């Protein structure tokens, strides 16, 4: 059938041979082979079949149905190399159906792939009336069969190489995931697990094959499942999808592990054909993050909300109040009065335990919807929500004060705290938490100024007081540097002889604009700011200097003593003993003539801690006095442990001193207590002759008060001493300008 002069056909044959040789799959080889065979021989019917050890691996047909081609393939036995079979019409009829039985002849050429299990045949058929197959046709088909055989060998080699590559890739993948600390999971398009790495056992406790075939969402926490499902569905639609997300996965012990999952779609990868999930257990990291987040918004000592979290809750409460419009909120700002004294005296560890106990009592006074917070140091705050009337905040403030009145057991010692509370109310008009906290803070300072241990409701007028306090503090700091403080002196008298035995040093502030300022107007501020230490040092040095000067000037008088008050902050200051030594050495005063007065309330709260300081002072030879005795509820046992020499009876028991009165009974008990402990007793605040008579009958040792003399400036005090030294009457003489009739 081939025409040698037909150059175009020859070219097509050559092109077809080239295409068959470059084929990379069996189907291309069989299709192009029968196409060329039919074109070259003019056969309208053709089939090409390829076998290997598993059976038919390639089948193509032309001019017949797939069923007919399969029938031809079934009747074609594998033939030896180079075998050509030409069948008669009758043989053809046995294969084809009746309507195709008018076949004149067939041509079957073996396709033999040497060295491989591959074999096959090219089958050609012509109907009756067509030109029979020629030797040239047979020769061309033989050449075609050889070309097809070579191509099939190449395809086989490529298939083998690809399979080896796949096996190597699979082995490499397996080696990688087997040694990975992360859990590697491959899921198919239905979301079911196809592969699971061994690390699943370490992370979640499952065996490597336990989860194969199960839904990948079965282990996801119900709250996380909708979000994770959405991520996976999206990955199934996008062949190059990449995502990173976190969720909780169930472990075999029933716990939930926080996991970070990296997702990558490998649906197009023939090695995987799925979505790869790289799962890392981040439970410890999440717990650390949660702990850090908690620490960021909670006080480390008491575990109460800190200032930032409290502000946030107040802001939310205000916003909620604006929406509801019929509720108000309250903020209580609480400060522990003189806590620094407690902390420094008992030690920081004990102070911390006290703060924890205070926090616990605070929480016990609140509803579940309210918030207690520690703002720092000894400052606490309370948030009261859904209040119906302002009285609700006052009730809570009273309840808190009552709860704090009971002593706290700190290292076996009863410690009393006295909180000052400022109360501010917020409503729809309140702009922010900062405004409300500022108002409560201002009210708290007013409570402190009112005597401490109480609460005060905020009023707008308090801002003026706050500004005044700020101005006063600035002036006070300048006064310390400019030495604007002067010392006044009030004489003390021996009751039995009415002789001056000494004097008490009392500080005054010569303000450049306000004039003479009394201690009641600035001592509390000096205590709060710590300036009292510098002021006290100046007073101590000047008082010792004056005492020695007057002793030298008046040798006929008994050795005059000098009493100097010590504040709680001075008593805690590490340089106190050195200050006392310096004042004595510089003045030349006999230490026995210096009396240091400490209030009973300070001594009773911190006896164990200050005892070492008191012992050091006693070793210097100075004398110690308990001031305002009778107001601090000290016990006899504690009093006996203190290295004191003098009890000063508080003026409140002298004011109502009448025979048979309660004050008289208290004064008598104190004097008798002093006598039993061999302590000297001094009565303060004597203003009437009757009081003097009663004290003489009770055998009090010494006294002082306006009856004898008001606090005097140094010059006036010097004149009084000269009168006393000369034997002149000095009691009650108007030697100084009038002052407020109170101890100061």
CATH of the domain at 401: 3.30.70.270
H or E segment to which residue 283 belongs: helix 283-297
Count structural domains, the chain: 4
3-state secondary structure of 40: helix
Q: Determine what percent of the chain is predicted with pLDDT higher than 70.
A: 83
**What is the residue whose two structure tokens read 């009393």?**
416
Token pair for 299? 């006080």
Q: How confident is the model at residue 660 (pLDDT cuts 50, 70, 90)?
A: low
H or E segment to which residue 67 belongs: helix 66-75
Mean pLDDT for 189-214 is: 89
Mean pLDDT for 177-200 is: 82
Mean pLDDT for 275-292 is: 85
Same domain flag for 551 and 578: yes
Residue 465 lies in a domain: no
Among 108, 130, 160, the domain-final residue is 160
H or E segment to which residue 186 belongs: strand 183-187
Q: For residue 164, how many other CB atoms are within 10 A of its CB?
A: 10
pLDDT of residue 181 exceeding 50, the answer is yes
Q: How confident is the model at residue 661 (pLDDT cuts 50, 70, 90)?
A: confident
Pinpoint the alpha helices (H) of 325-384. 339-346, 348-364
**What is the residue whose two structure tokens read 């006095």?**
625
Rounded Cα distance between 414 and 571, Å, is 20
Q: Are strands 193-196 and 183-187 parallel, antiparallel or unpaired?
A: antiparallel
Token pair for 345? 């005296």
Q: Determine what percent of the chain is predicted with pLDDT higher than 90.
A: 28
Same domain flag for 275 and 305: no
Orientation angle between helical segments 607-620 and 339-346, nearest 10 degrees: 70
Same domain flag for 538 and 429: no
Same domain flag for 260 and 369: no
Same domain flag for 416 and 480: no
pLDDT digits (tens, 9 = 90+) for 397-427: 999 999 998 888 887 788 888 899 999 888 7
Q: Give the pLDDT score at 94.
A: 41
pLDDT of residue 647 exceeding 70, the answer is yes
pLDDT of residue 737 exceeding 60, the answer is no
Q: Is 7 exposed, middle or buried (0-12, 13-18, 19+ CB in 10 A)?
A: exposed
Q: How confident is the model at residue 452 (pLDDT cuts 50, 70, 90)?
A: confident
CATH number for the domain spanning 185: value is 3.30.450.20
Residue 165 lies in a domain: no
pLDDT of residue 562 exceeding 60, the answer is yes
Residue 743 lies in a domain: no
CATH number for the domain spanning 116: value is 3.30.450.40
Residue 126 lies in a domain: yes
Q: Give the pLDDT score at 98.
A: 36
Rounded Cα distance between 347 and 83, Å, is 111
pLDDT digits (tens, 9 = 90+) for 346-360: 778 888 999 999 999
Pinpoint the alpha helices (H) of 554-575. 568-572
Rounded Cα distance between 445 and 535, Å, is 22
Residue span of the structural domain in which 431 resides: 298-460
Taking a C-beta distance cutoff of 8 angstroms, is the pair 708, 676 a contact? no
Q: What is the pTM of this model?
A: 0.50
Phi and psi angles of residue 347, each rounded to the nearest 5 degrees, phi first = 105, 155
Q: Give the pLDDT score at 295.
A: 79
Q: Give the pLDDT score at 740.
A: 41
Residue 406 lies in a domain: yes
Q: Give the pLDDT score at 9.
A: 60
Among 426, 460, 494, the domain-final residue is 460
Provide Rg for the chain, Cα atoms.
Answer: 54
Residue 168 lies in a domain: no
Instruction: Tally the residues of the chain.
Output: 744
Q: Give the pLDDT score at 78.
A: 42
pLDDT of residue 3 exceeding 70, the answer is no
Mean pLDDT for 486-509 is: 93
Same domain flag for 312 and 283: no
Taking a C-beta distance cutoff of 8 angstroms, is the pair 2, 140 a contact? yes
Pinpoint the alpha helices (H) of 450-606. 462-482, 523-529, 532-553, 568-572, 576-587, 600-605
Q: How confident is the model at residue 172 (pLDDT cuts 50, 70, 90)?
A: low
Q: How confident is the model at residue 258 (pLDDT cuts 50, 70, 90)?
A: very high
Q: Give the pLDDT score at 484.
A: 93
CATH number for the domain spanning 698: value is 3.20.20.450
Q: Give the pLDDT score at 47.
A: 84
3-state secondary structure of 245: strand
- Give Cα separations from 177 to 171, 203, 250 (angstroms): 10, 14, 21
pLDDT of residue 165 exceeding 50, the answer is yes
pLDDT of residue 579 exceeding 90, the answer is yes
Of residues 110 and 584, which shows the higher confidence score?
A: 584
Rounded Cα distance between 308 and 376, Å, is 11
| Lowest-confidence segment of 54-58, 223-227, 699-703 by average pLDDT | 54-58
What is the DSSP code string of 153-175? HHHHHHHHHHHHHHHHHHHHHHH
Q: Give the pLDDT score at 81.
A: 39
Q: Is 556 exposed, middle or buried (0-12, 13-18, 19+ CB in 10 A)?
A: exposed
**What is the residue whose two structure tokens read 């499902």?**
229
Please give the mean pLDDT across all residues of the chain: 81
3-state secondary structure of 726: coil
Same domain flag for 189 and 154: no
pLDDT of residue 173 exceeding 70, the answer is no
Of residues 162 and 416, which shows the higher confidence score?
A: 416
Mean pLDDT for 260-278 is: 83
Q: Of the candidates 573, 632, 567, 566, which has an alpha carbon nearest to the alpha carbon of residue 594? A: 566
Of residues 102 and 552, which shows the higher confidence score?
A: 552
Residue 671 lies in a domain: yes
Per-residue b or e along 404-431, where b marks 16 or more CB atoms closer than 10 Å to that residue's CB: beeebebeeeebebbbbbbbbbbeeebe
Q: Give the pLDDT score at 634.
A: 58
Give the list of residues 6+ apart from residue 220 with CB closer than 8 angstroms, or none: 228, 247, 248, 249, 250
Q: How confident is the model at residue 540 (pLDDT cuts 50, 70, 90)?
A: very high
Same domain flag for 520 and 627: yes
> What distance, in Å, lies between the first and last C-alpha atoms of the chain?
140
Same domain flag for 73 and 112: yes
Rounded Cα distance between 498 and 220, Å, is 94
Q: Give the pLDDT score at 30.
A: 83
Among 253, 287, 321, the domain-final residue is 287
Same domain flag for 274 and 373: no
Token pair for 125? 């058929």
pLDDT of residue 134 exceeding 60, the answer is yes
Residue 175 lies in a domain: no
Q: Give the pLDDT score at 605.
A: 58
3-state secondary structure of 690: helix
Token pair for 303? 């575990």
Same domain flag for 139 and 56: yes
Same domain flag for 622 and 695: yes
């Amino acid at each position: 059938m081939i025409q040698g002069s037909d150059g175009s056909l020859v070219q097509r044959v050559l092109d077809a041979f080239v295409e068959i040789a470059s084929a990379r799959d069996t189907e291309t080889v069989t299709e192009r082979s029968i196409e060329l065979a039919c074109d070259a021989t003019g056969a309208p019917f053709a089939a090409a079949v390829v076998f290997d050890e598993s059976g038919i691996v390639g089948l193509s047909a032309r001019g017949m149905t797939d069923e007919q081609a399969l029938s031809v393939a079934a009747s074609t036995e594998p033939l030896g190399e180079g075998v050509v079979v030409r069948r008669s019409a009758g043989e053809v009829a046995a294969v084809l159906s009746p309507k195709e039985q008018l076949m004149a002849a067939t041509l079957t050429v073996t396709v033999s792939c040497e060295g491989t299990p591959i074999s096959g045949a090219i089958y050609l058929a012509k109907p009756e009336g067509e030109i029979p197959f020629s030797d040239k046709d047979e020769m061309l088909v033989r050449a075609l069969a050889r070309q097809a055989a070579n191509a099939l060998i190449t395809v086989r080699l490529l298939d083998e190489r690809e399979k080896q590559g796949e096996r190597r890739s699979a082995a490499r993948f397996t080696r990688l995931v087997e040694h990975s600390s992360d859990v590697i999971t491959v899921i198919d398009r239905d979301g079911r697990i196809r592969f699971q790495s061994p690390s699943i056992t370490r992370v979640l406790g499952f065996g490597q094959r336990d989860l194969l075939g199960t839904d990948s969402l079965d282990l996801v926490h119900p709250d996380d499942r909708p979000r994770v499902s959405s991520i996976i569905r999206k990955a199934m639609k996008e062949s190059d999808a990449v995502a990173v997300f976190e969720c909780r996965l169930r472990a075999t012990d029933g716990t939930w592990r926080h996991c970070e999952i990296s997702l990558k779609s490998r649906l197009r990868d023939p090695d995987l054909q799925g979505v790869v999930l790289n799962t890392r257990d981040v439970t410890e990291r999440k717990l650390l993050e949660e702990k850090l987040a908690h620490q960021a918004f909670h006080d480390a000592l008491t575990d109460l909300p800190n200032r930032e979290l409290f502000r946030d809750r107040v802001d939310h409460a205000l916003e909620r109040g604006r929406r509801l419009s019929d509720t108000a909120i309250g903020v209580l700002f609480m400060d522990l009065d003189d806590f620094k004294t407690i902390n420094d005296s008992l030690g920081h560890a004990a102070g911390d335990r006290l703060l924890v106990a205070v926090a616990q009592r605070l929480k016990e006074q609140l509803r579940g919807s309210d918030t207690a917070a520690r703002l720092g140091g000894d400052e606490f705050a309370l948030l009261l929500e859904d209040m119906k009337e302002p009285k609700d905040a006052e009730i809570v403030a009273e309840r808190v004060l009552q709860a704090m009145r009971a002593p706290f057991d700190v290292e076996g010692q009863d410690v009393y705290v006295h909180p000052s509370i400022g109360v501010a109310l917020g409503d729809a008009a309140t702009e922010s938490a900062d405004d409300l906290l500022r108002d409560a803070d201002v009210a708290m300072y007013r409570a402190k100024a009112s005597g401490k241990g109480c609460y005060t409701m905020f009023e707008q007028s308090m801002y003026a007081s706050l500004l005044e306090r700020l101005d006063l503090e600035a002036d006070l700091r300048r006064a310390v540097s400019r030495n604007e403080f002067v010392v006044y002196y009030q004489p003390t008298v021996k009751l039995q002889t009415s002789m001056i035995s000494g004097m008490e040093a009392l500080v005054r502030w010569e303000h450049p604009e306000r004039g003479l300022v009394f201690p009641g107007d600035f001592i509390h501020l000096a205590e709060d700011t710590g300036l009292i230490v510098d002021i006290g040092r100046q007073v101590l040095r000047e008082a010792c200097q004056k005492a020695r000067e007057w002793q030298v000037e008046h040798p006929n008088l008994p050795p005059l003593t000098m009493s100097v008050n010590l504040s709680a902050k001075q008593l805690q200051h590490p340089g106190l003993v050195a200050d006392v030594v310096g004042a004595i050495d510089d003045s030349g005063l006999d230490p026995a003539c210096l009396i240091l007065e400490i209030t009973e309330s300070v001594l009773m709260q911190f006896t164990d801690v200050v005892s070492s300081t008191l012992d050091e002072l006693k070793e210097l030879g100075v004398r110690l006095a308990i001031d305002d005795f009778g107001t601090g509820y000290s016990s006899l046992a504690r009093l006996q442990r203190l290295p004191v020499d003098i009890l000063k009876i508080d003026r409140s028991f002298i004011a109502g001193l009448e025979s048979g009165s309660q004050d008289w009974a208290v004064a008598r008990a104190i004097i008798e207590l002093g006598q039993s402990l061999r302590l000297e007793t001094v009565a303060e605040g004597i203003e009437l002759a009757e009081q003097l008579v009663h004290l003489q009958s009770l055998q009090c040792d010494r006294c002082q008060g306006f009856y004898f003399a008001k606090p005097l400036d140094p010059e006036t005090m010097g004149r009084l001493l000269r009168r006393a030294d000369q034997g002149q009457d000095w009691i009650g003489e108007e030697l100084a300008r009038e002052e407020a009739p109170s101890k100061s």
